[in-house]
Structure 1
Amino acid sequence: MARITLDHLAHAYRSDPRRPEDYALKEVNHVWSQGGAYALLGPSGCGKTTLLNIISGLVRPTRGRVLFDEVDVTDLPTEARNIAQVFQFPVVYDTMTVRENLAFPLKNRRVAGETTARRVEEIARLLDLTRVLDRRASNLTADMKQKISLGRGLVRPDVAAILFDEPLTVIDPHLKWQLRSTLKEIHHALDITMIYVTHDQTEALTFADKVVVMHDGAVVQTGTPEELFERPAHTFVGHFIGSPGMNILPCRVEGTTAFVGSTTISLQRAYRTLSDSDRVELGIRPEFVRLQPKGAGLPVQVRRIDDIGRARIARVEMNGRPLAASVPDGIFIDGDEAALAIDPRHVHIYADGHLVPGEATGGHGA
């Protein structure tokens, strides 16, 4: 088990990178604490698998170092790093039984037979594989085979970390929640560092204690699920996390007032005069924007109202700008004219995509 440090890490797949856009992974400085459960979250092509492969030793970084505890492992091959990696698709030996598959990593390291047997039984119980231990893997479903892959990653008690590269891709949707919950239970039981790569925000937010959000080869924010939702440090985080994502509206800001077209929105923090060259935007999540009858707030035009089961979401336009708002119980709109009530405590101001802190004015800041 280990603390993993990424020290000025960057990687380019071309031989002579010169500009930031030449790098598939822009510079990262980060520490993964021993025993933490982390998720690398972002869309396809954002650099998360490249970063995982650098940690595992499958890719050597263009520059920077990887340290396990205080040991520099940058030039060590994968087999010398004492990590386990679980991939998108199951990697199992079809001709072996489930028991033999789970025992294989321990037998390779000449672990005593009794110790191996106990460990295999323990992991089988955690993954609900006990009833199929003596069946050949070839006769099992893709779901069960991926459980075996997970088990082979977990069976070694001495690994520095376990790296998961979108391990639930082949799992039926109704079983994904169960397996994520199982992984959380295993993490708590085994106290091992786990790093989980996914493009699925639900997987990331329900598995990880800390989520690393990546965009265009860069880490744009690291935080708890609550921090990412409540205070996105970048407009990409606000848009990517949440369903629907954060409303992002071009605006002009003067002191404690934001102007979205001809509409004025009061702010709970004062903002410096932002440069004319800055791209200034206002961000607020739909959960903090409530649809109201006409005349009870900021005027909008209603385009449609979607019932998503757990809530109703209104799709509206404010000065020609689309945004989403929650529809409180008991609110029904007749026609296409309505209003919005915005909670100023949850309004954020961004310049060129980055959160602007603002200055407190006596209230609770946005």
Structure 2
Amino acid sequence: MADIRLEGVGHSYDGGRTWAVKPMTWTWRGSRAYALLGPSGCGKTTLLNIISGLIIPTVGRVFFDDRDVTGVPTAGRNIAQVFQFPVLYEEMSVYDNLAFPLRNRKYPAKEVDQRVRQVARLLSLEEHLGRRSRRLDAGRQQIVSLGRGLVRSQVAAVLLDEPLTVVDPALKWTLRSKLKEIHRDTGHTLVYVTHDQTEALTFADEVVVVNDGAIVQAGEPAELFLSPAHEFVGHFIGSPGMNMLPAEIVAGVVRIGPSEVGLAAADGVHAGRSDVEAADGLPAGPVRIGVRPEFVVIGGPRRSPGVAATVTGTDRMGAYDLVHTLVGEHPVLVKTEAGALHEPGSAAFLHFPAERTFLFRDQVRCGSLAPLDGRSTA
């Protein structure tokens, strides 16, 4: 179970004109479960293949603990890798497919049998152990591939590249729980690539968000949801994602059009400081306000800090409603309790709670709202 350390690692497929992975320094700590989360084409799989040795990076070095493995082929890195689609010996039984990685490394027969049956039990493959792999459906074949990757108890890391893509959706929740159980059992360093935020947030100890070849934020799921450090994280994490609105800081006060919505507090500046202190920490000028639909409050007295809006429609989601509004020309979603009455075309007033509303410049979070301390809306 190794620490995986990248030092200045980057990769280009066209001689450096563009970067699939922009040069980065990063460490995955041993025995933790990580998710690499981002949209298709953002560099997740390239980064995973650099770790596994399938790709030699254009620049930088890769370390497993203190061992430089940059030029070491995959077979010499002692890793297990599971790909997006099944990789099996189709004429072998499920048992023999699971046993193959262990037998190939001369594990004792008793240990092979014990480990195969343990993984089969965890993945609900026990009744299929005697069947040939080619007779299984694609989803079950992928579960066997997953088992092959997890069957070895002593590996530097287990790398999984969107392993549940072809698995029936009804099984995905169960398998994610099983993966966490296996991870607790083995203590592998585990890196799981996915574009599905649900998979990432329900599975990983730490989620590493990737966009355009760069890591934009890493943290526990709650941290990414409640405290995004980048507009992309606010947009990509959450369903629906964070509302973003253009605003301006004037004399330490955040305004959306003529309406004051709070004081501007630079990151690290706490609520309760004066306008001058806030303005000193965060210069005047344009910003973007980010607030999640879950935290926007619709209604309430006009004298409270907030902004006027117009309701354009409501999506009935069963357990909750999503109210669509417009602030000027800018859409804002509000998540409310089910059955709330907000008629299309009606006027509304939106409040942005200071502790859940952030300020962004050049897509990077620079601060947050602080209460206006009773001052009325302009």
TM score, norm. by length of structure 1: 0.92
Kindly report which structure 2 residues correspond to 1:180-329, keeping only aligned pairs within 5 A, or say none: 180-267=176-263, 269=265, 270-271=278-279, 272=281, 274=283, 280-292=287-299, 295=302, 298-328=307-337
Which residue in 2 is equivalent to 1:14?
14
Asked if the contact 1:86/1:153 (under 8 Å) is kept, the reply is yes
Whole-Å Cα distance in 2 between the matches of residues 322 and 3 of structure 1?
44
Whole-Å Cα distance in 1 between the matches of residues 150 and 32 of structure 2?
15
- Deviating beyond 6 angstroms after TM superposition, the runs of 4 or more aligned structure 1 residues are 358-363
Whole-Å Cα distance in 2 between the matches of residues 130 and 362 of structure 1?
62
SS of the residue corresponding to residue 123 of structure 1 reads helix
Q: 1:264 Cα deviation (Å)?
A: 2.0
Give the letter aligned to residue 342 of structure 1. Answer: F
SS of the residue corresponding to residue 287 of structure 1 reads coil
Whole-Å Cα distance in 2 between the matches of residues 255 and 207 of structure 1?
44
What is the percent sequence identity of the aligned residues? 49
Give the letter aligned to residue 248 of structure 2. Answer: R
Asked if the contact 2:225/2:237 (under 8 Å) is kept, the reply is yes
SS of the residue corresponding to residue 254 of structure 2 reads strand
SS of the residue corresponding to residue 26 of structure 1 reads strand
Give the letter aligned to residue 354 of structure 1. Answer: V
CA deviations over 1:122-146 (Å, ceiling 9, x no partner): 1111111111111111111112111
| Unaligned stretches of 5+ residues in structure 2 | 266-277, 374-378
Asked if the contact 2:82/2:145 (under 8 Å) is kept, the reply is yes
Whole-Å Cα distance in 2 between the matches of residues 204 and 226 of structure 1?
12
My pick for the range that moved more, 166-175 or 107-116, is 107-116
Residues 168 and 84 of structure 1, relative CA distance in 2, 3 Å threshold:
same
SS of the residue corresponding to residue 219 of structure 1 reads strand
SS of the residue corresponding to residue 90 of structure 2 reads coil
CA deviations over 1:188-233 (Å, ceiling 9, x no partner): 1111111000011000101111111011111100111011011100
Whole-Å Cα distance in 2 between the matches of residues 177 and 5 of structure 1?
31
CA deviations over 1:102-140 (Å, ceiling 9, x no partner): 011111112221221111111111111111111111111
Match of 2:75 among 76, 79, 89: 79
Residues 74 and 102 of structure 1, relative CA distance in 2, 3 Å threshold:
same
Which residue in 2 is equivalent to 1:343?
353
Asked if the contact 1:289/1:342 (under 8 Å) is kept, the reply is yes
| Unaligned stretches of 5+ residues in structure 1 | none
Asked if the contact 2:318/2:338 (under 8 Å) is kept, the reply is no
Asked if the contact 2:250/2:284 (under 8 Å) is kept, the reply is no
Asked if the contact 1:268/1:344 (under 8 Å) is kept, the reply is no
Which residue in 2 is equivalent to 1:355?
365
Q: 1:268 Cα deviation (Å)?
A: 6.6
Instruction: Check if 1:48 corresponds to 2:48.
Output: no
Whole-Å Cα distance in 2 between the matches of residues 72 and 32 of structure 1?
15
Q: 1:274 Cα deviation (Å)?
A: 3.5
Residues 349 and 313 of structure 1, relative CA distance in 2, 3 Å threshold:
same
My pick for the range that moved more, 49-58 or 154-163, is 154-163
Residues 77 and 268 of structure 1, relative CA distance in 2, 3 Å threshold:
same
Whole-Å Cα distance in 1 between the matches of residues 193 and 263 of structure 2?
37
SS of the residue corresponding to residue 239 of structure 2 reads coil
TM score, norm. by length of structure 2: 0.90
Give the letter aligned to residue 308 of structure 1. Answer: M
SS of the residue corresponding to residue 148 of structure 2 reads helix
Residues 173 and 79 of structure 1, relative CA distance in 2, 3 Å threshold:
same
Alignment RMSD, CA only?
A: 2.1
Give the letter aligned to residue 286 of structure 1. Answer: P
Q: 1:361 Cα deviation (Å)?
A: 8.7
Whole-Å Cα distance in 2 between the matches of residues 126 and 258 of structure 1?
53
Give the letter aligned to residue 364 of structure 2. Answer: H
SS of the residue corresponding to residue 351 of structure 2 reads strand
